[in-house]
Chain A
Amino acid sequence: MNLHLVLLAPMLASVLTLFLSGRDGASTLRAVLFFAFVVAGASFVPLAMGESTTELHTWLRPVGNLTVRWGLAADGLSAWLVALTGVLVPVALATARAHVGERLREFAAAVFFLQAGLVGVFLSVDLLQFYAFFEVILLPSTVLIAMFGGRERRRAALLFLLFSLAGSIPLFVSIWWMAAESVRMQSALALDFESVRVFLATVDPQARFWLFAAASVAFLVKLPVVPFHLWQADAYSEGPAAGSALLTGIMAKVGLYGFLRIVVPLFPMEAALYANFFVGVGLVTMLTGALIALRQREVRRVLAFSSLSHLGLGLAALFTFRPEAIAGVVVLVVAHGLSAAALFFLTGIAEGWARSRHIDDFGSLAKRAPVFAVLFALAGLASVGLPGTAGFVAELLMLFSLWKVYGVAVALVAGSTVVLSAAYTLRLMQKMLFGTSHTQAESSPDVPALEALSIAPLLVALVVFGFMPGPILKAGRPDLLTRLPSAQAKVVEDATHAAAR
């Protein structure tokens, strides 16, 4: 029941936000932040409860013996992701207030809607339920880009939407296919993850390969990896910065989450068989992202490709299936979620001062806005994986597992990220924080207190987790890939449906 509250809270917040008058900016902001904090509080419920599930009820019986179930389940991984979402949303609202101005109400409604979708994704136990939430999040995120973005926002939003849809439709088709197959085989099929896994084990390997490929593509686009990354830089740089922060901070993690929760557990044989392929794709993505990031001329495009690079490494590490790698990927999810989002938030603020997105139009912010500089430098260093921040723990574990499975050469290739990420991040810091000012604006204000106070906790958390990653490491437990939280849930057969059968 508690888990349902976690899902309901952002939905309610979204609806309630729309009923705000929106005429008085200050009170709208207060109300919206109040909602966000309440929802954030609710988001920590799964973390506090530990592993927990609701009962699984029959939700739909569309055809034949197919049962779609409804239920929510959280283990450490889901709980951390839900908590991360809850933490980032208030920051997004606080930092976006200057940019969206009078449309804060609409912005907040979309953000809460997105949050509800994301929470749904992370707590779903059923394949169709998951898919529904997976598609639901497209709507608010497209709205965020298309309504609050820059000059090319429509194109970026369209590209984003098309890529995401093209990626996820194969997943939907494969759900259909499974339904048809169950009818053909005259066997009952429930779509909760555990039942799907059992069902898939009986499916013809050739067909299963295609199902595996379809599921993988959905998450590879979301992550994204080369060559499905074309939407990413545009979406991140054209969308509102706070929205991009949510996109990279959480939505990109849906890609990794999908692999951790669906692709690998449901298709263990295929995942093991094609592990090398995914490691290769991950490393290519990592290198491509890092190298292209070196040449970008817009701050947020650098950050976008940096994101590509870090998550590429995450994918590569994940497919070593080492326990260290699983833990490392979970830490990466949290660490990158915090640091990349913080960078996007801060960039959004600085872009407001410079009225430009171009890397050369900033400069000397360390002198003009010292608080900003401290926050930005800290976030940058955390994303570089400096020891003492959570990024290091993730990087160490991922490199370790890649080395353990693939040897020194691959470890050195993967480790080049240590140097390359430092190269593009320091370039960014050099151009933005140091040097001489290039802005037209004579004096720029420093980060306002609300924004500073909302971003600072993210960075504090990064440092704390850098020294005490224990709780996150525990969430990335070794059997994460084999033990689905939904398997623990009690299945309740609905009386009417049972009678109908």
Chain B
Amino acid sequence: MSFLPTQSLILAGFLFSIGLATVLVKRNLFFVLMGVELMLNAANLSFIAWSRTFSGPVGLDGQVAPLFSIAVAAAEACVGLAMLLSVFRSKETLDTDRFDRMKE
């Protein structure tokens, strides 16, 4: 079955939108992080799609970038989850709407 770049780009767009919506709508910090991951993966997908479009050395770039981004995302998830844990310890909640100390 053929795999068209356009279709995968549309898919990436959907994924991105879902991720963005999650980030914007969810109040739980955990879900916000998940939304961020979704958006990252959407971007990765679009990279892959573009690498299919262009052949040759330029196309390789499109495959290297997701590898990087997956590694970074893994690190980010590590740090992010750790921070999330420590936030939860100190605040006993993960509700973003209650993080308003900066308002002072």
**Chain A–chain B contact at Cβ < 8 A:** no
